[in-house]
A and B are shown apart, each in its own frame.
Chain A
Amino acid sequence: MKVLVPVKRVIDYNVKVRVKADGSGVDLANVKMSMNPFDEIAVEEAIRLKEAGKADEVVAVSIGVKQAQETLRTALAMGADRAILVIAADDVHQDIEPLAVAKILAKVVEEEQPGIVLAGKQSIDNDMNATGQMLSALLGWSQGTFASELDIDGDSAKITREVDGGLQTISVKMPTIVTVDLRLNEPRYASLPNIMKAKKKPLDEKTAADYGVDVTPRLEIVKTEEPAARAAGIIVGSVDELVEKLKEAGAV
């Protein structure tokens, strides 16, 4: 079975995000970019499937600017076998919307015929949480979102989902789309031998046009602004005082 893992290049989670002066978005010039952390979990899971003998090939795909090939090299260094880069934008500030990404992914799936698509539940930049679900609709495949456990058994998979108020276990038919949540696994560091091997692994370069997908934005960003600054806190001397303050504030 082949595993397809879409990975997105996003602003590094450690970077202090700055809104552009004109409010059109977040400043991405000269900031550190990394693989979306949820996608890292998806790559890790794919590699574990391969190590467990349940998959025989892991293919990473990234859709965006040319620099996304760094993100793909990271996936290759973690252990993916090959990568596909779909160049869909020249400007690092142009985000490709979930529907366009899902349409391109659907074409890649048609070409690659994976048994499963493992994707991050959302990317930490725009938090859309939509691509996996849209891909499922476009392909007519089953889906299991927010996975914290995945157990593939022949032509079905058992997926534990992190839902409001607890865990839900579902059984889906393969092939399927799984979007992964934080607690599924802990991604590994790239090993030094794999880092050295990554360059030699195949990385195919395509464009959105090759797949006949129009990536023109359908959404208009009206305004981007910084979250309100947090008010300063106070230090209380005792539990009693804490309870009293909370009562005063109407919190309890």
Chain B
Amino acid sequence: MQFGLSDEQEMIVSTVRSFVENEIYPHEAEVERTGQVPHALGEAIKQKVIDLGFYACNFPEEVGGAGLSHLDFTLVERELGRGSMALTHFFGRPQNILMACNSEQRDRYLLPAVRGERMDALAMTEPDAGSDVRGMKCQAQRDGGDWVINGSKHFISGAEHADFFIVFIATGVDETPKGPKKRITTFLVDRGTPGFEVREGYNSVSHKGYKNYILYFDNCRLPDAQVLGEVDGGFAVMNKWLYATRLTVAAFSVGRARRCFDYALNYAAERKQFGQPIGKFQGVGFQIADMITEIDAADWLTLAAAWRLDQDLPSNREIASAKLYASEALARVTDTTLQIFGGMGLMDDFPIERFWRDARVERIWDGTSEIQRHIISRDLLRPLGA
């Protein structure tokens, strides 16, 4: 057992961190103020990432990616987590699920996505289907050889930049002893397909500029060629590829918690009250100690889960633990940092209030904390028959 990074991993970490510090940080305040990323800026960041060979580094080499291991890629995500999500979105990491493309779809979707020519967005959530994915109402019905889609999806991140969408849609119902169970199919939907519309979503307090959108399908006709994976095989595709997004949230949370913690640490050392640095007061000093302990714990949980994936070990529970703990640790770290800063922490002169607002969503998206706890407990109890 050894806990150090290899030379390559150290260099990946330092390169991505410098990139985020130099190419992302300077634009954050403006993105936060305006709530959007100018198109030219996004494209410029993307081009730099392509030139550096980091674009789509989560994909295998045979399709043009960098072939990073889960652990290496998690380190990349962790460092990206320091920066504003609206901007790091352009440090493109297309959805792994595109590896499910068939040979004809590869040329239309997978390869252009890896090259950075076409951006993707994933659509699963609906107003009445959040944690309960199978509760989705958006449905596709057979019509001749085609599918006709009706319904809507919301909370779709990155939709404004997406050229195509990976959409989960109900394609039937199975009667089971536990009641009716929807069959789900994954579709690839191009922007501009007749009957498909992308509309502005809601204003979120978290991640300004990383906007969410609503997708509408009104008798949208899609041929079989747009099905990703097998018809009714949506859950198989989801289970095979989507675990990675939970690990991403864990890694992002760790990176952002470290950035936030540095503010807390320096402020505790520099800010003087009652004649001494506030960090010397046990109340603040102990908070510093608790924060770094939690961040390190979250970091190791996350890296260990990624390592398990690389070893092909069962990792569903470990990923859930990492996502749960890292996102909740981030919430505590940002809240405590804000408290250490006092009133100044709430002002937008410092990024603390932003970290604090952004942290809130990490406990909700890609599976709420409650869903993660459900996954963890089920993993442990089910083998015992409970």
Q: Which of B9-62 contact A (CB under 8 A)?
A: 10-12, 14-15, 18-19, 51-54, 57
- Per the bound structure, the CA–CA distance linking A63 and B122 in Å amounts to 51
Q: Which of A24-48 contact B (CB under 8 A)?
A: 34
- B19 near A195 with CB under 8 A, answer no
Q: Which residues of B contact A73 (CB under 8 A)?
A: 7, 11
Min CB distance A82 to B, Å, is 15
Which of A70, A74, A77, A192 contacts B54, CB < 8 Å? A192
Give the bracket for the number of chain B residues in contact with chain A: 10 to 19
- Per the bound structure, the CA–CA distance linking A77 and B11 in Å amounts to 8
Q: Which residues of A contact B10 (CB under 8 A)?
A: 70
- A199 near B8 with CB under 8 A, answer yes
Which of A34, A189, A191, A198 contacts B8, CB < 8 Å? A198
Interface centre among A73, A192, A193, A199 (most CB of B within 10 A): A192
Q: Is A108 an interface residue (CB 8 A)?
A: no
- A195 near B11 with CB under 8 A, answer yes
- A190 near B15 with CB under 8 A, answer yes
Q: Is B66 an interface residue (CB 8 A)?
A: yes
Main secondary structure of the interface of A (DSSP, over half): helix
Q: Which residues of B contact A189 (CB under 8 A)?
A: 15, 18-19, 52
Which of A34, A70, A195, A199 contacts B12, CB < 8 Å? A195
Q: Is A196 an interface residue (CB 8 A)?
A: yes
Q: Which residues of B contact A195 (CB under 8 A)?
A: 8, 11-12, 15
Min CB distance A241 to B, Å, is 24
Min CB distance A199 to B, Å, is 6
- Per the bound structure, the CA–CA distance linking A43 and B66 in Å amounts to 25
- Per the bound structure, the CA–CA distance linking A192 and B18 in Å amounts to 13
- Per the bound structure, the CA–CA distance linking A177 and B105 in Å amounts to 56
- Per the bound structure, the CA–CA distance linking A189 and B53 in Å amounts to 11
- A192 near B57 with CB under 8 A, answer yes
- A193 near B53 with CB under 8 A, answer yes
* Cβ-closest chain A residue relative to B266: A16
For chain A, the count of residues having a C-beta within 8 Å of the partner chain is 15
Q: Which residues of B contact A192 (CB under 8 A)?
A: 12, 15, 52-54, 57, 66
- A193 near B7 with CB under 8 A, answer no
- A199 near B7 with CB under 8 A, answer yes
* Cβ-closest chain B residue relative to A69: B7
* Per-position binary interface string of chain A over residues 158-194, scored 1 when its CB falls under 8 Å from any chain B CB and 0 otherwise: 0000000000000000000000000000000111111
Min CB distance A95 to B, Å, is 23
Which of B14, B19, B66 contacts A193, CB < 8 Å? B66
- Per the bound structure, the CA–CA distance linking A77 and B13 in Å amounts to 13
Q: Which of A1-54 contact B (CB under 8 A)?
A: 34
* Cβ-closest chain A residue relative to B10: A70
Min CB distance A163 to B, Å, is 29
Q: Which residues of A contact B11 (CB under 8 A)?
A: 73-74, 77, 190, 195, 198
* Per-position binary interface string of chain B over residues 52-80, scored 1 when its CB falls under 8 Å from any chain A CB and 0 otherwise: 11100100000000100000000000000
Q: Which residues of A contact B15 (CB under 8 A)?
A: 77, 189-190, 192, 195
- Per the bound structure, the CA–CA distance linking A190 and B17 in Å amounts to 12
Q: Which of B183-205 contact A (CB under 8 A)?
A: none
Q: Which residues of A contact B52 (CB under 8 A)?
A: 189-192
- Per the bound structure, the CA–CA distance linking A190 and B51 in Å amounts to 10
- Per the bound structure, the CA–CA distance linking A193 and B57 in Å amounts to 10
- B7 near A198 with CB under 8 A, answer yes
- Per the bound structure, the CA–CA distance linking A193 and B52 in Å amounts to 8
- B18 near A196 with CB under 8 A, answer no
- B7 near A196 with CB under 8 A, answer no
Q: Which residues of B contact A196 (CB under 8 A)?
A: 8, 66
Min CB distance B153 to A, Å, is 33
- Per the bound structure, the CA–CA distance linking A191 and B55 in Å amounts to 11
Shortest 4 CB-CB distances between A and B: which pairs?
Answer: A192-B53, A191-B53, A193-B53, A195-B11
Given contacts A189-B52, A192-B52, A199-B8, 11 further A-B pairs with CB under 8 A are A34-B14, A77-B15, A189-B19, A190-B11, A192-B54, A192-B66, A195-B8, A195-B15, A198-B7, A198-B11, A199-B7
The interface of chain B, by Cβ under 8 A from chain A, is 7-8, 10-12, 14-15, 18-19, 51-54, 57, 66
Sample of 17 A–B contacts (CB below 8 Å) = A34-B14, A73-B11, A74-B11, A189-B15, A189-B52, A190-B52, A191-B51, A191-B53, A192-B54, A192-B57, A193-B66, A195-B8, A195-B11, A195-B15, A196-B8, A198-B7, A199-B8
